[in-house]
Amino acid sequence: MARGTGEDGPHPVDRHVGRRVCEKRISLGYNQSDLGRALGLTFQQIQKYEKGANRISASKLWDISRFFKVDVSYFFQGLGAVQPGMAEGDADAFDHDFPSTRHTIEIGRLAPQLSNRQQKLALELIREMADRPAE
């Protein structure tokens, strides 16, 4: 059975690193084929990396970081946060299951440029469109 297809799915670290690769790739305007060509891989392999279905080797992660001009640690940022079961009580685990698209990345990049009032209005609009009540 291929890794990442069983009951447990991909390891959370593999999913996190893959998501960070995807987010950085999209934010820099590259598609999966562009990154694949730069690394000597197919776009299908990049897809598997980004989903966490295939683990990224240390040497490939090094190559990816050099292509994106970021430190390798970039791909692990946000991962070392508190997780349930690690002596902190009932804290919520970091949610990795949101889709990264060009749109979600652009929304995240533009939101800090809005005033607090505009951010609140945008959040209310998105919540209403997603049919989600305020938390």
pLDDT score of 1: 41
CA distances from residue 11 to 51, 91, 95, 130 in whole angstroms, order as listed:
10, 20, 13, 28
pTM of the predicted model as reported, rounded to 2 decimal places: 0.64
Dihedral angle, C-alpha 74, 127, 110, 93, nearest 10 °:
-10
Q: How far is CA 45 from the centre of its chain?
A: 17
pLDDT score of 48: 93
Q: Which of 106, 98, 60 is closest to 78 using CA atoms?
A: 98
Which domains, ranges and CATH numbers included, belong to the chain?
12-76 (1.10.260.40), 102-131 (no CATH)
pLDDT score of 30: 92
Mean pLDDT, consecutive 10-residue stretches, the chain (135 aa), reads 58 91 91 95 94 93 96 90 50 54 80 90 88 77
pLDDT score of 82: 47
Say how many C-beta atoms besides its own lie within 10 A of residue 22's C-beta: 21
